Amino acid sequence: MPSNTSAPAGGSSAGGSAAPRKVLQGQKALVTGANSGIGRGVALALGAAGADVVVNYIQGDEAANEVAAGIEAAGSRALTHRADVSNESQVEQMFARAVGELGTIDILVANAGLQRDSPINAMTLEQWNTVIGVNLTGQFLCARAAVREFLRRGVVRSVSLAAGKIICMSSVHQMIPWAGHANYAASKGGIMMMMESLAQELAPRHIRVNGIAPGAIRTPINRRAWETPEAYASLMTLIPYGRIGEPNDIARAAVWLASDESDYVVGATLFVDGGMTLFPGFATGG
């Protein structure tokens, strides 16, 4: 059992002061849900690794502009774009603008997600449809638009060994059932099978599709699981590594999956969870 049950303020050994390697130099990325939490961390890390980044968000202009400023401070270009990933025409318009202004898209991180928690007997159809619509259908719509662009362009070997990379943000709940969150767990299980099916379908076209399954990461989506010392101590009983994850823990995994350093990784889910999935059936948060 982990002994560290205090809530460290920034916890992770993530980051550090060394300048990041520009492993994504010359590439163009689009990150959905990029003005908060994990998506914010991923967008900043892709920018620091040399990619120009489209910062998608649904609300919060100021937060999106702050992420864009961080990307530009690292020397990459950033575009902010407000769009609902569950809306087909808004997704199409977003990709058209991205390709129009940046020339192409090489990397999609389909990250936007939300929860509408309820016991099943009280769950409304709206709660069900909202979660499936954003978390699963949103990833389908963005993946389809990205794949069309990857196929149009093909491989440009001076940029990347692949014609494109898609990273689907899943969750430990793609494999761990989550009582009281059937809509969320169903969306993440769906993401896993969609990701693996796309990976199989698109590998012959040199498009790599992979997933990341975060455990408990310190973001607004699961604030209740970490914001009090009691909640944090309870969370720690589920995490062998003895600390909560930080957005940068996920961001570094995303940079690797987006880069040619993972060129032979196809259809994999990378669990970034401090060992939480070693306790199946007990996970909470995210």
For 172, the token pair is 């430990």
Contact status: 39 vs ligand NAD (CB under 6 A): yes
| Stretch touching ligand NAD by CB under 6 A, among 4-12, 98-106, 110-118, 229-237 | 110-118
112 contributes a contact to ligand NAD by CB under 6 A: yes
For residue 232, state whether it binds ligand NAD (rule: CB under 6 A).
no
Q: Which of 216, 236, 239, 283 binds ligand NAD (CB under 6 A)?
A: 216
**CA 223 to chain centroid:** 18
Distance CA 186, CA 265 (A): 25
Of the two residues 63 and 151, which places its CB atom closer to ligand NAD in the complex? 63
Which of 76, 79, 96, 74 has its CA nearest to residue 35?
Answer: 79
Residue burial 239-252, b: 16+ Cβ < 10 Å; e: rest: beeebbbbbbbbbb
Catalytic residues, by residue number, are 184
| C-alpha to C-alpha distance for 207 and 167, rounded to whole angstroms | 11
Residues 158-197 that bind ligand NAD (CB under 6 A): 169, 171
Alpha-carbon distance 4 to 191, whole Å?
33
3-state SS assignment for residue 59: coil
Considering only residues 127 to 156 of the shown chain, the ones binding ligand NAD according to CB under 6 A are 134
The answer to whether 86 contacts ligand NAD (rule: CB under 6 A) is: yes
Please say whether the beta carbons of 28 and 262 come within 8 A: no
Least Cβ distance, residue 243 to ligand NAD (angstroms): 13
Q: How many residues bind ligand NAD (CB under 6 A)?
A: 29
- Minimum CB separation of residue 159 from ligand NAD in Å reads 27
If one asks whether residue 270 binds ligand NAD (CB under 6 A), the answer comes out as no
Residue 281 identity: G
Q: Which residues bind ligand NAD (CB under 6 A)?
A: 32-33, 35-39, 56-58, 84-86, 111-114, 134, 169, 171, 214, 216-217, 219-222, 285-286
